[in-house]
Amino acid sequence: MEFLPFTRPSIDEATIAGVAEVLRSGWITSGPRVKEFEAALSEYFGGRPVRALNSATGGMEIAVQLCGIGPGDEVITTPISWVATGNVVLRAGATPVFVDVDPLTRNIDLDLVEAAITPRTRALFPVDIAGLPVDRDRLYSIAAKHKFRVIEDAAQSMGSRWNGRRIGSFGDLVSISFHANKNITTGEGGCLVLPDEGAVPLCEKLRLQGVVRFPDGNMEVDVAGGKYNLTDIAARIGLGQLPHLDEFNARRRALAKRYFQLFDRALGCALPVEDFENTNWHMFQVLLPLERMRITRGDFIRHLHERGIGSGVHYPAMHLFKLYRELGHHDGEFPHAERVGREMVTLPLFAAMRDEDVDRVCEATSAIIRAASR
Rounded Cα–Cα distance for residues 235 and 240 (Å)? 9
Rounded Cα–Cα distance for residues 143 and 161 (Å)? 20
H helix runs in the chain, sequence order: 13-25, 32-44, 56-66, 84-91, 136-146, 200-207, 232-241, 245-262, 297-306, 322-325, 335-343, 355-372
Helix 355-372 and helix 245-262: axis angle, to 10°?
A: 40
Rounded Cα–Cα distance for residues 348 and 358 (Å)? 8
Q: Which helix (H) or strand (E) holds 97?
A: strand 95-98
Q: Which of 249, 210, 274, 271 is nearest to 349 (CA)?
A: 249
Give yes or no: 257 in active site: no
Query: What is the SS3 assignment for 246?
Result: helix
- Cβ-in-10-Å burial (0-12, 13-18, 19+) of 132 comes to buried
Q: Choose, from 145, 182, 205, 322, the residue flagged as catalytic.
A: 182
- The one-letter amino acid code at 79 reads P
- CA 183, 104, 247: angle at the middle one, nearest 5? 20
Compute CA 169 distance to the chain's CA centroid, rounded to the nearest angstrom: 16
91: CB partners within 8 A, 6+ apart = 61
Rounded Cα–Cα distance for residues 317 and 337 (Å)? 6
Tell me which residues are annotated as active site.
Answer: 182
